[in-house]
Amino acid sequence: MTAVFSHGRLRLYLLKLLAEGPKHGYELIRLLENRFLGLYAPSAGTIYPRLARMEAEELVTHTAAGGRKVYEITDAGRAELTARAAELAELETEIHASVADLSSLADTIEAQVRGSVRDLKRELRDASGRARAANRTAQNGGYRSGGRPAAEHSSWRTVAAESRADLERAAGDLAAEVKRLARGAGVDEADLRAATVVVTSALTELRRLLRPR
């Protein structure tokens, strides 16, 4: 897959997709995946930095609508696409060639999925190990132990942890409610902009309140 889609080519293909119309990041990822038989499933972490670089080179621009970035191709981007038309055609042939031999394609798919699964297992095993260790430390420190009250210091920590959890829950509720409201019927763009200002100023206030002393 990496051979099919080296770095310069991903950039070329992103330009091609954007030439078909403005798109946001998530859409780009899904489209890339479909074009490549689901073989190439780039994550946001791969695409985003690349788009940012292309933006710095003024090949694409973005507009932010409600926190969602929509990317658009510029004239310079179109010029690059025209200049590299031959390369693009070659890339498309290769993609179709890989579909031509179904049996080896199946081998590739199996290998690709197995590789991703192996990486994922390792990553999650490490993460759960860390979570387990953190839980154990928390238990020894009297943090949410639910058992006998430990020294004064650790009971203070329990209270602090609970308050923190309360705050985080409230923030979660806020985010969910905002998303729901923003999606409601009859909300126009001006309302959304005003609401964004409200949220931003709340954030500034919170930063002031919770900054480390």
Structure tokens that stand for 17 in this block = 């997709």
The one-character DSSP state at 24 is E
Structure tokens that stand for 161 in this block = 């942890």
Residue 173 touching other proteins (CB under 8 A): yes
Q: What is the 3-state secondary structure (H, E, C) of 175-203?
A: HHHHHHHHHCCCCCHHHHHHHHHHHHHHH
Question: 56, 83, 86, 102: which one contacts other proteins (CB under 8 A)?
Answer: 102
Strand pairing partners for 70? Answer: 24, 63
Residue 45 touching other proteins (CB under 8 A): yes
- What's the min distance (Å) between Cβ of 79 and other proteins? 26
- What's the min distance (Å) between Cβ of 190 and other proteins? 20
Collapsing DSSP to helix, strand or coil, 70 comes out as strand
The one-character DSSP state at 2 is T
- Rounded CA gap, 14 and 6, in Å? 12
- What's the min distance (Å) between Cβ of 75 and other proteins? 25
In the numeric block, the tokens 């954007």 are attached to 18
- Binding to other proteins (CB under 8 A) within 181-210 occurs at none
Write the interaction track for other proteins spanning residues 128-167; mark x where CB under 8 A is met and - where it is not: x-xxx-xxx-xx----xxx--------------x--xx--
Strand pairing partners for 69? Answer: 64
Nearer to other proteins by Cβ, of 67 and 82: the residue is 67
Question: 76, 97, 160, 176: which one contacts other proteins (CB under 8 A)?
Answer: 176
CB atoms near residue 5 (< 10 Å): 19
Q: Cα dihedral sign for 70, 67, 55, 3? A: negative
Residue 122 touching other proteins (CB under 8 A): no
Residue 18 touching other proteins (CB under 8 A): no
Binding-site size, other proteins (CB under 8 A): 61
Q: How far is CA 122 from CA 17, 41, 119, 126, 203, in A?
A: 34, 19, 5, 6, 37
Residue 67 touching other proteins (CB under 8 A): yes
Nearer to other proteins by Cβ, of 85 and 175: the residue is 175
- Rounded CA gap, 99 and 122, in Å? 31
Query: Which residues lie near other proteins (CB under 8 A)?
Result: 24-27, 29, 33-34, 37-39, 41, 43-45, 47-48, 66-69, 96, 99, 102-103, 105-106, 109-110, 112-114, 116-117, 120-121, 124-125, 127-128, 130-132, 134-136, 138-139, 144-146, 161, 164-165, 168-169, 172-173, 175-177, 179
